[in-house]
Structure 1
């Protein structure tokens, strides 16, 4: 992290970044936003699949739990994130957003999401790991949804890899240990194909980062073409768990989390391995055509 008042990193930037919080913000979403998100992660492609129809048709509308990652931006999306310009600390700490990648994501639902509603979201940085001046940094954020009565609805935790912002004097260790993937053969394996135009559809839910649509922006970030939104992959894995293990029963899903391990390109075909151990469903995602694992340490906890 760099301060606009200093050319060199200083150790006292650490409390600065940890003091950055976003102001409480009220947001709302409607049924159309819920359906658009579901289409953006591939739901409803088969018009005769009545279980998926419930996510894209208002008759018996269900909300994908992973939609919590984008619904706060549904009506008036923003990029960069709101807290990127927060200034409650001794100085503003800035990031090079062209070099920031999503590392891990978790959504915890304190109750199932309704098809429409209005909520308040607050958030901020909860931790920072310094990998070194030339190795980047890992930032941990948390945001919380509350309803009109102040009751928690959802808690989202995120880690981001800031590739150009290491060397600020913070701790080099202390990141949470990832969920261990079972070593036995998967209990079930399914395939889900992404669309070549998946980014163009998904971004309409509010994530307008040009990395995912603009070839020039992708090249600036070190990619030869636009990559799929990490949170789109997150939504597809949520859909996969519901499809393969929970019979599309969203009420059963208490939390969903994963760690990205390699970029995804629109058109990739996901091979998703799943394991069930009591209330824990582990998963991993591979793209066989490119010989890569794109998601590791996935975990869904059921109620």
Structure 2
């Protein structure tokens, strides 16, 4: 890893129009519409009074494979998506155009042979008004890049899940073709579609995108606590713990403390925690 070049990397402002079709396709990719009679689902996948699903902010204006640039000297093959968070300042609207502004916020060097953490931040603005509508942060684990220096010695502490029994649980199934639908929203990594390449990466079969699993967890939060109003979700953060295979059932456990919702998600079929240290804020 070339720390100096990584910190100096200049991201182009990324313009992204979101027509109604793309908004509905994203919602279908995270499993919205499983129950076609559910009005709370229909608002995201039917053009009449269409609303944009909140976690779409993670997907639009994506910088692509910038980290693979040879000048950065990052061992990107060993990169893992460790954490994700987003804050909603104003809901997205179908038909509008948004601009993503990125910066490398920090790098934490764990030491030679121990890897590093890269903290990336996206500020999403509406093109017409230049108003900031969302702040998105991603933490990437650079397993092959320790020992090259950093800008911080401390990572943000993960949200602590309460030790008491969960207050509520919700199960949401994924479709066998979930990854094939979700990838049409822009993430075409072949390990989510090609069984041969997924096997070479160490998986039994193609895996679900991490941000798709995040979308399913966001669905669970909204279903359990928003009373059908997605605008009540103000922020969400989590850690990725393990991959999900399309077709599996994701069980999310919740702990509510006022407007703060702690959560953890696991796969029912394998008993594996796939999302951890989750925290969401729900407005009254």
- Flag whether TM exceeds 0.5 (same fold): yes
For residues 3 and 181 of structure 2, what CA distance do their matches in structure 1 show? 38
The structure-2 alpha-carbon separation of the partners of 1:16 and 1:72, relative to structure 1 and needing over 3 Å to count, comes to closer
State whether structure 2 residue 141 is matched by structure 1 residue 177: no
Contact kept? 1:20, 1:83, Cα under 8 Å: no
Contact kept? 1:83, 1:124, Cα under 8 Å: no
The structure-2 alpha-carbon separation of the partners of 1:138 and 1:123, relative to structure 1 and needing over 3 Å to count, comes to same
Scaled by the length of structure 2, the TM-score of the pair is: 0.92
Structure 2: segments with no counterpart, 5+ residues: none
The structure-2 alpha-carbon separation of the partners of 1:186 and 1:48, relative to structure 1 and needing over 3 Å to count, comes to same
Structure 2 partner of 1:246: 226
1:23-172 equivalent positions in 2, closer than 5 A: 23-72=12-61, 79-80=64-65, 82=66, 84-85=68-69, 92-147=71-126, 148-170=128-150
Report the CA distance between 1:64 and its aligned residue.
1.1
Report the CA distance between 1:252 and its aligned residue.
0.6
Report the CA distance between 1:60 and its aligned residue.
1.8
Contact kept? 1:22, 1:83, Cα under 8 Å: no
For residues 137 and 216 of structure 1, what CA distance do their matches in structure 2 show? 29
| 1:42-76 Cα shifts (integer Å, max 9, x gaps) | 00011111221111001121111101111325xxx
Q: Once superposed, which parts of structure 1, at least 4 consecutive aligned residues long, lie more than 4 Å away? A: none
Contact kept? 1:257, 1:299, Cα under 8 Å: yes
Matched residue SS, 1:46: coil
Matched residue SS, 1:161: strand
Contact kept? 1:125, 1:141, Cα under 8 Å: yes
Contact kept? 2:14, 2:61, Cα under 8 Å: no
Structure 2 partner of 1:10: none
For residues 111 and 9 of structure 2, what CA distance do their matches in structure 1 show? 21
CA-atom RMSD in angstroms: 1.9
Moved more, 166-175 or 112-121: 166-175
Q: How many residues align?
A: 282
State whether structure 2 residue 259 is matched by structure 1 residue 279: yes
